[in-house]
Structure formats: structure tokens, C-alpha cells
């Protein structure tokens, strides 16, 4: 899932790679099925629906950094404002063979970090001011290496492609009534079938996206361990962030809820969301995976 220089890589996690590959096959099958149904029932509307979804995907992909920064109120900072943080990111980028991203600081009592941007050359990595106070230098380095791994793995592109069919289904679900009126033909039965199929496809594609997102987090955790060669630092950081999250007042977590999919740990109380509906794996599973990686690195 992640590859850097030969000095700090080790065997590929074939189990994780296989699960990601299988998820993509299932997403592709949903694509083929849904597009086939649309084209069969409403050949005249096929290109309109695909076009609308393409516009949404285009905006999501090319303006993701601006939208996330605006939503989180994160501010791009220059090197003279945060020289130590810039030096840390530059060192990690050298290890990961990445160009230097823009760096942002997000004012929030929720300790967290995120990455966004459509490609490594248009990336932004950000940290909240509270996480910089909470973590040690090694722990913060491990967290930021995790975020740079998302950049390295081009996860914005990955999730944009994965979400495309869900966008098409969502358009149909929310506009089926008006599409039926605009159709101008006696197609009520076909639109009812299309509405039901769209709901089913939206549910299945959303669950597959959540599954892919969780695998993406495992891959970024692994990437952090590769870059820093210190998985124990990320384990410590994840435990600290999770522990502090439970004590953050609910109103502050609600303020940043829109960016939960981007955060290293969602701003949620530990048991407030079933894992199957989460964008992230459970803390316990992430720690177990990192401990396995640590054993691999030590050769036993």
C-alpha cells in the first residue's frame, strides 16, 4: 500500500492490499450494474445524470483543499510563523520523497490533524493548535507522517472516484419526483423502480466507501511507521488524542464534525458511532495493526 526508499521499507501487507483490491472490484460491479439500469430505463437521461455527477466530482476533487480549509477555519502559515513545524514537515517529506506541501494551523480545542489537496504538488497538511500542545515532538511527527501518507497515496483522488456512483444515486433520490415531471412521458413505474434501485445503490456504495476509507487509514498508519520508523510513537499519539477527545465538550466537537472524514481520529465520543458506519477503524484495531508492524520491523 505504501512505498518509499529501500532503506525504510519492508514487506507489503498483502492482506490489506487484497482487501482494498476486493473492495474496488465490488465498487466497480456496483458502477456497472447501476449505469446499466439507468441506461436501460432512461437512455435519454443517462448523460445528464452522469454530467451532473461529474461536475460534483470535479468540484470535490479540484477545490477540496479550499473547501476543507474554509470549513475548518484552518489558516495557511508561513515558515517564519511556525519554523519548527515547517522543519518537521520538510524532514518527513524528504523521507517520503514528497514535495513540500502548504501547512495550515486550525484553531480548535479538538486535538487533530488532516491532509487535503488533489495531488502531492497541491497538498495541504494541517494540525490543530491543541494537538501541538498535547503531543511530544516524536508523537506529532508520527501524526504528520500519517497525514503525508494520505498525500502520498493520493487518497483524495481515490475517494472521489469511489464516491462517484453514490453521487449519481443521490441525485436521483433527491430529484426523482421532478425528473418524473420533466420527463413528460408516462414513466411512473420506471421512475419508482429507479428510485428504489438508487436507494439500494446509495446504501451499498456508501458502505463500500466507508470500508475503503477505513483501509485507507490502515495504509496511512503503515505509511507513518515506514517514514518515521517509529510505530510506537503513532500508537502513543493515537491513545493520547482518543483519550483527550472524550473530555472535549460536545459543542467543540460539533463545530468540526464536517471534517471528521479527514481527521486522523474523528471528533466523536468513542462509543457514539457503530464501527460499520465510521470512516475510521477502531482505535483497538489500529493499535493492533501498528504493533504487528513494529514486530515486522524488529524482525520477529
Catalytic residue among 78, 147, 217, 296: 147
Strands 102-106 and 113-116, how do they pair?
unpaired
pLDDT tens for each residue of 27-47? 989 988 988 888 888 776 667
Write down the pTM of the prediction.
0.84
Domain ranges, residue 244: 6-298
Number of domains in the chain: 1
Mean pLDDT value of segment 70-79: 93
Instruction: Tell me whether residue 275 is one of the annotated catalytic residues.
Output: no
Residue 149 above 90 pLDDT?
yes
290 inside domain:
yes
120 inside domain:
yes
CA distance 56 to 66: 15
pLDDT band at 120 (very low <50, low <70, confident <90, very high): very high
1 inside domain:
no
pLDDT at 92: 97
Angle at 139 between CA 138 and CA 144, to 5 degrees: 100
pLDDT band at 268 (very low <50, low <70, confident <90, very high): low
Amino acid at each position: 500500500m505504501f512505498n518509499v526508499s529501500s532503506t525504510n521499507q519492508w514487506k507489503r501487507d498483502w492482506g490489506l492490499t487484497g482487501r482494498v483490491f476486493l473492495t474496488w472490484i465490488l465498487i466497480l460491479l456496483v458502477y456497472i450494474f447501476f449505469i446499466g439500469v439507468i441506461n436501460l430505463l432512461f437512455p435519454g437521461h443517462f448523460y445528464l445524470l452522469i454530467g451532473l455527477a461529474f461536475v460534483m466530482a470535479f468540484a470535490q476533487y479540484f477545490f477540496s483543499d479550499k473547501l476543507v480549509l474554509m470549513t475548518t477555519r484552518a489558516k495557511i502559515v508561513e515558515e517564519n510563523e511556525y519554523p519548527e513545524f515547517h522543519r518537521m514537515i520538510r524532514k518527513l517529506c524528504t523521507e517520503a520523497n514528497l514535495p513540500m506541501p502548504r501547512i495550515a494551523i486550525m484553531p480548535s480545542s479538538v486535538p487533530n490533524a488532516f491532509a487535503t489537496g488533489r495531488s502531492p504538488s497541491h497538498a495541504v497538511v494541517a494540525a490543530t493548535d491543541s494537538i501541538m500542545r498535547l503531543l511530544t515532538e516524536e508523537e506529532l511527527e508520527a501524526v504528520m507522517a500519517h497525514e503525508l501518507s494520505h498525500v502520498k497515496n493520493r487518497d483524495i483522488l481515490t475517494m472521489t472516484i469511489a464516491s462517484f456512483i453514490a453521487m449519481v444515486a443521490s441525485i436521483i433520490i433527491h430529484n426523482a419526483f421532478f425528473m418524473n415531471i420533466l420527463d413528460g412521458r408516462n414513466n411512473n413505474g420506471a421512475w419508482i423502480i429507479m428510485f428504489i434501485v438508487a436507494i439500494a445503490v446509495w446504501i451499498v456504495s456508501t458502505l463500500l466507501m466507508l470500508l475503503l476509507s477505513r483501509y485507507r487509514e490502515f495504509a496511512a498508519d503503515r505509511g507513518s511507521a515506514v517514514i518515521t520508523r517509529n510505530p510506537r510513537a503513532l500508537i502513543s499519539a493515537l491513545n493520547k488524542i482518543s483519550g483527550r477527545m472524550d473530555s472535549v465538550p460536545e459543542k467543540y466537537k460539533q463545530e468540526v464534525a464536517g471534517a471528521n472524514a479527514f481527521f486522523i481520529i474523528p471528533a466523536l465520543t468513542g462509543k457514539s458511532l457503530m464501527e460499520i458506519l465510521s470512516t475510521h477503524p477502531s482505535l483497538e484495531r489500529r493499535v493492533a495493526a501498528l504493533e504487528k508492524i513494529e514486530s515486522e520491523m524488529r524482525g520477529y
